[in-house]
Amino acid sequence: MWDSDQVRLWLESRIAAARLDQAAADQQGYAAQDDYDKAAAEEWVCRAMKNALCIASQTAFADRLKALLGQDDFPITGIYDDRRFERHVRTNLRKLVKMAKANLGFENTLHYQ
């Protein structure tokens, strides 16, 4: 059974984890630019889905994810490599599509997954 409150909590925990990962990568400098872009992509995806009205329905949530996957670009500032960022966004979107279809994984709110 779809639990929109649990999904919202999971998204919020992933946003917080992504912010921490971005801060850690930022402190490491040039060598961690990919890690920064990866964390920024996860935050972007989770923020886009958390603020969507479709979170109440599993089908609508999955449809919104598919619509985002169909986009050509994902506007954001402050990243290092646009192509790398877009690749990480698509990876995160596909992960969420699988989770939404199976309705599994939203109970894991640990920082590292």
Give the residue, 51 or 31, on which the prediction is more confident. 31
pLDDT, residue 93, reads 97
pLDDT at 13 over 90: yes
C-alpha span between 67 and 21 (Å, rounded): 27
* pLDDT tens track for 75-85: 898 999 999 99
Question: String of b and e for 83-104 (b: at least 16 CB within 10 Å)?
Answer: ebbbebbbebbeebbebbeeee
Q: How sure is the predictor about 20, in pLDDT bands with cuts at 50, 70 and 90?
A: very high
**Residue 36 CB: number of other CB atoms within 10 A?**
23
Q: Report how far residue 69's alpha carbon sits from residue 9's, in angstroms, rounded to the nearest whole number.
A: 22
Mean pLDDT score of the chain, rounded to an integer? 94
Q: With bands split at pLDDT 50, 70 and 90, how would you rate the model's confidence at 4? A: very high
Question: Residue 75's pLDDT is what?
Answer: 87
Give me 16's structure tokens. 């917080």
- At residue 113, does pLDDT exceed 80? no
pLDDT average, residue stretch 58-79:
93
Separate counts of helices (H) and strands (E) for the chain: 4, 0
Question: What's the pLDDT score for residue 95?
Answer: 96
